[in-house]
C-alpha cells in the first residue's frame, strides 16, 4: 500500500520546497531530521518518516555488547531496508574497543554513518558508563573517538547533551575534542542529563554553541509543533534540526513548515489514516509476529490521534481490541468519521507532558 494520489501530491509539492544540505560528508535533502528514539526508530518507522519528508533518520540506540555477543535481537536492530536512503546507525557503550568492534559489524549493514549515543539519560544506560555518562570525564574522549574512528570506513558522528548537569555544561569542549578525532557532525539535545526530559531545552545555549562550534551542529529539543519548527528554522545557526517526539503526534511535521499562506490544503484525518495503513504495510514486511505488529501499530495510532476530538473514547476501544484487523477497522472508522463530521484540525496542548520518560 502506497499513498493515494491526493496525499502524494501534497507530499511532493512540499518536498520540492526543501533545501538540500551537506554536513561534512553527509548529504541530505532537508535540514529536518528524525531524532533517534529507543523502541521507536526501527526500519519501518524510519522509512515511513523518510517518505513523509525527513531529510535523514537515525536508528534507536543499539548496544555494542549485544552486537559483539551476537545477540539475535540486537543484530535485528541493525537491519536497514533497501529503500532507506540516508540512515545512521546509533551505538551505545562505554568501552572503546567494544564500540570499535561493534561499529565494524554495524557498517556491514550499509548505513551512511555510525553515530555514538552520548545523550541517553536513562539510569540503566548511564550506570554502566555509557550514554550521557560519557560527558562526565572528557579526558577519555579523545581515545574513545579515535579508537572507534579507526575501525570505520563510513563517517562517525555523535549525539550529546549540553552537559551532565547545570554545573558542568561542557558541550563545546566535547565538540572540539570530537573535531580533533575526525567526527563529522554533532547533534545536541538542549538539556543536561540531570534534566532528563523535564523543563525546557535551552535553545539560547544551543544557538551559542552552534555559533562557536568547529563542527556542523544539529539542534534537538522541544520542536513539537509546526510553528515552533518554522520559527526555529528562520533564525537558527544550527545546520539542521532533529525532530523526535513531535512527529509521533504529527507525522507531517517534517513537511508542514513548508506550507505557504496561499496553499489550499491541510493534512486531514484521512491523510492520517493513510499513514496508519502505510505503517501497517511496512510492518507486515518486517515483523514476524502479529503480536509485535499490534503493539507497534497501536501505540503509533494512539499518538497520531492525539488532539483530535473524542480521542479518549477511541483510545479505550483500541486497547480493548486484541486482533489486528479489529484495530485497523476501529481506526478507519475513527479517522474517516472525523472527516465525515468535518473535523480537519488538531488541538494539542503543547504544555502537557508527552513521553516525559524519554526515548533517546
| Active site amino acids | 120
How many residues are there in the chain? 360
- DSSP string of 187-202? EEESS-TTTTT-S---
Quote the Cα angle for 19-174-360, to 5°.
Answer: 65
Q: Dmax over Cα atoms in the chain, in whole Å?
A: 61
Distance CA 351, CA 86 (A): 32
Question: What is the CA angle 255-258-264, rounded to 5?
Answer: 100
Q: How far apart are CA 33 and CA 244, in angstroms?
A: 9
Strand residues in 7-75 grouped as ranges (E): 21-23, 26-28, 32-34, 57-58, 62-63
Pairing of strands 62-63, 57-58: unpaired
Amino acid at each position: 500500500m502506497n499513498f493515494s494520489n491526493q496525499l502524494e501530491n501534497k507530499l511532493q509539492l512540499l518536498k520540492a520546497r526543501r533545501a538540500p544540505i551537506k554536513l561534512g560528508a553527509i548529504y541530505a535533502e532537508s535540514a529536518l531530521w528524525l531524532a533517534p528514539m529507543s523502541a521507536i526508530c526501527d526500519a519501518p518507522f524510519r522509512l515511513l518518516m523518510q517518505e513523509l519528508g525527513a531529510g535523514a533518520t537515525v536508528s534507536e540506540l543499539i548496544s555494542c555488547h549485544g552486537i559483539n555477543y551476537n545477540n539475535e535481537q540486537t543484530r535485528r536492530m541493525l537491519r536497514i531496508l533497501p529503500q532507506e536512503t540516508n540512515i545512521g546507525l546509533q551505538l551505545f557503550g562505554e568501552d572503546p574497543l567494544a564500540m570499535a568492534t561493534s561499529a565494524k559489524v554495524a557498517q556491514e549493514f550499509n548505513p551512511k554513518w555510525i553515530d555514538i549515543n552520548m545523550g541517553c539519560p536513562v539510569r540503566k544506560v548511564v550506570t554502566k558508563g555509557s550514554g550521557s555518562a560519557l560527558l562526565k570525564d572528557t579526558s577519555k574522549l579523545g581515545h574513545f573517538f579515535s579508537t572507534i574512528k579507526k575501525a570505520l570506513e563510513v563517517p562517525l558522528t555523535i549525539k550529546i547533551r549540553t552537559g551532565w548537569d547545570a554545573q558542568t555544561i561542557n558541550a563545546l569542549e566535547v565538540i572540539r575534542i570530537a573535531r580533533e578525532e575526525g567526527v563529522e557532525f554533532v547533534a545536541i539535545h538542549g538539556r543536561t542529563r540531570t534534566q532528563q526530559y523535564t523543563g525546557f531545552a535551552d535553545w539560547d545555549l544551543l544557538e551559542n554553541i552552534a555559533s562557536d562550534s568547529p563542527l556542523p551542529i544539529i539542534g534537538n529539543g522541544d520542536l513539537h509543533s509546526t510553528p515552533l519548527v518554522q520559527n526555529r528554522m528562520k533564525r537558527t545557526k544550527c545546520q539542521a534540526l532533529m525532530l523526535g517526539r513531535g512527529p509521533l503526534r504529527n507525522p507531517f511535521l517534517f513537511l508542514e513548515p513548508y506550507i505557504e499562506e496561499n496553499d489550499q490544503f491541510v493534512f486531514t484525518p484521512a491523510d492520517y489514516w493513510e499513514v496508519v495503513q502505510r505503517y501497517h504495510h511496512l510492518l507486515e514486511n518486517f515483523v514476524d509476529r502479529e503480536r509485535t505488529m499490534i503493539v507497534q501499530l497501536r501505540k503509533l495510532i494512539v499518538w497520531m490521534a492525539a488532539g483530535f476530538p473524542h480521542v479518549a473514547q477511541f483510545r479505550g476501544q483500541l486497547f480493548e481490541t486484541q486482533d489486528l484487523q479489529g484495530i485497523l477497522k476501529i481506526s478507519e472508522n475513527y479517522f474517516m468519521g472525523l472527516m465525515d463530521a468535518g473535523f480537519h484540525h488538531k488541538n494539542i496542548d503543547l504544555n502537557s507532558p508527552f513521553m516525559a520518560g524519554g526515548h533517546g
